[in-house]
Amino acid sequence: MDIITTGYGWEFLLRFMHFLAGVTWIGVLYYFNFIQTPFFGTELGGTAKSAMTRGLVPNALWWFRWGAMFTFITGWLLISMYIFMGGMSLTDGLITRILTGGVMGSIMWFNVWFIIWPAQRDYVIKSAEQVAAGGEPVPGTPDKAGLASRASRTNTLFSIPMLFFMGSARHFDRFNNGDNDLVYWVLALGLMLALELNAVVGTGGRQKYLASVSGTIHAGLILTVVLYVIGATVN
């Protein structure tokens, strides 16, 4: 019964729920970006797009957004437990790595709930339903669909360094056990914010890396290396 009567047991349960929700969330994210979107770009996918948008997409988005929510909640509960109950300092190298992943995960959660889901619900899905019923598409749907797509691709980009830093948190002490350095956070948060703003309000060539799956993955890998090098250099 130690699993429900001790702090360590509750930490384990929270971590398990965090992993389970995270797998659900990221799994659907990768389905959207690696499978569904490229399929919609094919001849067969274009024919099936309206029916899938009205039938399959709303169900997938339910798992997507609630997976994000439970990942977000359990993640910050875990971080709070590490700091307030585990006696870890905000300047601890382990917390730095966890928070690096946590900040990116929080940006991703924001994108899901406040950009992707509203755009899909109020424009893309609603427009498909109206057209299927013989009506007109919702005005502004292409722009909102583009915004949702860029936010989703940005989440895919962030997921790579997010998973790297979360997974490496307890394993990289021998490589980088630096403190939570102000310079690190200024540079790291600056990069994250620049990528997020570029996806939301950027234009043209500055968003080219989001135009393809391969470009998004390469950008995510580059961001992972850059953040790791910054951490290893300034700490």
Rounded CA gap, 114 and 61, in Å?
Answer: 13
Q: How many domains does the chain have?
A: 1
Residue in the block written with tokens 């339910």? 62
Q: Residue 191's pLDDT is what?
A: 97
Q: Residue 174's pLDDT is what?
A: 44
Which tens digits make up the pLDDT trace of 87-129?
666 667 788 888 999 999 999 999 999 999 999 999 999 999 9
Q: Residue 116's pLDDT is what?
A: 98
Q: Residue 87's pLDDT is what?
A: 65
CA angle 82, 88, 93 (to 5 degrees): 105
Residues of the chain with pLDDT under 50: 174-177
Q: DSSP secondary structure string, 47-73?
A: HHHHHHHHHHHHHHHHHHHHHHHHHHH
Which tens digits make up the pLDDT trace of 56-79?
999 999 999 999 999 999 999 998
Q: How far is CA 63 from CA 59, 70, 74, 221, in A?
A: 7, 10, 16, 26
DSSP symbol at 116 = I
- Residue-number span of the structural domain to which 221 is assigned: 2-234
- pTM comes to 0.93
Count H helices and E strands in the chain, helices first. 10, 0
